[in-house]
């Protein structure tokens, strides 16, 4: 009767877990670990009852004798106890959920969580391999969870292009006439010219030298173009951080960094969007009399020879 009862309770727990997993809340609050703990308690208690029947002893006698074996039991069920405690913390703090993309370099994990059990968490990496992580390791060690990115509505594009500082210069009238024909910044050029002319006139600036007063530069105009170009892309999320900034100059040139967010978060689509943006920007840089910095290659040295 005890064995049949165990099987009935086990089947009931499995059915309850299967039903629970059909609801969306099961991804946020997994209960598989708690079900497994309950099963361990049921099987262990049932084993005590069966032994008591075979020995014709009261179960209370057997349970009381387990006090001397506490240290042994703690050692046997160490992983289960740690996993149970970790499972409570993970669920209470919503640290991970099934389907989350996590990175944990120590265990070689970089992919989506496919199963959260009592003692292990299974992560399917992007190369379709499976990495198994101890549940308590998610409490005691550091890992990165990309859920925030998924829920934010955007995926960050953060990449810099290094420009040759030798090509940075003030804009001449000929350059400004040429730049004003670029659709995205034609209005910007006209407004900026009027603004600078009025400011220089107010301050009685000597226009015989471009160094005097405020002047437009080809790199500043290029940054304005990049901002206008990105603003006109419907795939870019304008409600999130939107920056085109200049980083500190290095021996590899002057980095111009794009810091924006794509609305499409799918990996393949995101990479395609990022590639399209930089394809266009790299192609348009020479139009502003700028050059991308690139370390000399064998071909460059052969030209010198």
Enumerate residues 6+ apart whose C-beta is below 8 A from 156. 149, 259, 260, 261, 262
Distance CA 129, CA 111 (A): 9
pLDDT greater than 80 at residue 151? no
Establish if 136 belongs to a structural domain. yes
Establish if 69 belongs to a structural domain. yes
Whose CA is closest to 120, among 32, 59, 29, 2? 32
Do the beta carbons of residue 236 and residue 261 sit within 8 Å?
Answer: yes
Domain shared by 142 and 52, yes or no: yes
Residue 262, H or E segment: strand 254-262
| Boundary of a domain, candidates 151, 179, 208 | 151
Per residue in 89-100, pLDDT tens?
A: 777 777 888 888
Distances (CA, A) of 103 to 118, 131, 286: 20, 11, 39
**Alpha-carbon dihedral 27, 114, 35, 147, rounded to 10 degrees:** -40
Q: Which residue has the higher pLDDT, 232 or 213?
A: 232
Q: How confident is the model at residue 88 (pLDDT cuts 50, 70, 90)?
A: confident
Domain shared by 136 and 12, yes or no: yes
Write out the residue range of the structural domain in which residue 201 sits.
Answer: 155-288
Domain shared by 28 and 127, yes or no: yes
Establish if 26 belongs to a structural domain. yes
Domain shared by 104 and 210, yes or no: no
Number of separate domains in the chain: 2
Question: How large is the average pLDDT for residues 162-175?
Answer: 91
Domain shared by 18 and 140, yes or no: yes
Domain shared by 161 and 146, yes or no: no
Establish if 140 belongs to a structural domain. yes
| Boundary of a domain, candidates 118, 151, 184 | 151
DSSP string, 36-82: HHHHHHHHHHHHHHHHHHHHT--HHHHHHHGGGGHHHHHHHTHHHHH
Establish if 182 belongs to a structural domain. yes
| Boundary of a domain, candidates 151, 177, 197 | 151
Domain shared by 34 and 76, yes or no: yes
The reported pLDDT for the residue numbered 73 is 65
Distance spanning both ends of the chain, measured CA to CA: 94
Domain shared by 170 and 266, yes or no: yes
Domain shared by 30 and 82, yes or no: yes
Domain shared by 124 and 11, yes or no: yes
Establish if 303 belongs to a structural domain. no
Question: How large is the average pLDDT for residues 173-197?
Answer: 90
Q: Which residue has the higher pLDDT, 119 or 190?
A: 190
Residue 88 CA to chain centroid, in angstroms? 25
Question: Longest Cα pair distance anywhere in the chain, in angstroms?
Answer: 112
Residue 292 neighbours by CB distance under 10 Å: 14
Domain shared by 102 and 182, yes or no: no
The reported pLDDT for the residue numbered 66 is 65
Do the beta carbons of residue 224 and residue 188 sit within 8 Å?
Answer: yes
Domain shared by 176 and 257, yes or no: yes
């Amino acid at each position: 009767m005890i064995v049949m009862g165990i099987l009935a309770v086990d089947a009931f727990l499995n059915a309850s877990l299967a039903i629970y997993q059909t609801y969306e809340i099961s991804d946020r609050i997994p209960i598989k670990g708690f079900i497994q703990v309950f099963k361990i308690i049921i099987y262990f208690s049932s084993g005590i009852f069966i032994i008591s029947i075979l020995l014709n002893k009261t179960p209370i006698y057997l349970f009381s004798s387990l006090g001397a074996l506490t240290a042994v039991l703690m050692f046997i069920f160490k992983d289960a106890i740690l996993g149970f405690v970790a499972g409570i913390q993970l669920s209470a703090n919503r640290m991970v959920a099934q389907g989350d993309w996590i990175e944990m370099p120590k265990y070689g994990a970089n992919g989506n969580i496919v199963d959260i059990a009592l003692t292990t968490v299974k992560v399917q990496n992007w190369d379709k391999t499976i990495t198994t992580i101890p549940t308590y390791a998610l409490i005691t060690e550091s890992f990165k969870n990309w859920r925030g990115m998924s829920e934010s509505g955007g995926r960050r594009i953060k990449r810099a292009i290094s420009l040759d500082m030798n090509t940075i210069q003030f804009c001449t009238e000929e350059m400004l006439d040429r730049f004003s024909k670029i659709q995205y910044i034609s209005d910007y050029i006209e407004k900026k010219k009027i603004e600078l002319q009025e400011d220089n006139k107010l301050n009685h600036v000597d226009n015989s030298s471009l160094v005097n007063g405020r002047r437009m530069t080809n790199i500043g105009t290029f940054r304005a173009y990049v901002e206008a170009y990105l603003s006109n892309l419907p795939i870019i999320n304008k409600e999130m951080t939107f920056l085109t900034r200049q980083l500190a100059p290095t021996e590899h040139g002057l980095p111009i960094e794009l810091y924006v967010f794509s609305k499409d978060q799918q990996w393949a689509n995101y990479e395609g969007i990022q590639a399209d943006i930089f394809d266009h920007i790299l192609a348009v840089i020479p139009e502003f009399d700028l050059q991308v910095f690139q370390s000399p290659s064998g071909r460059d040295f052969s030209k010198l020879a």
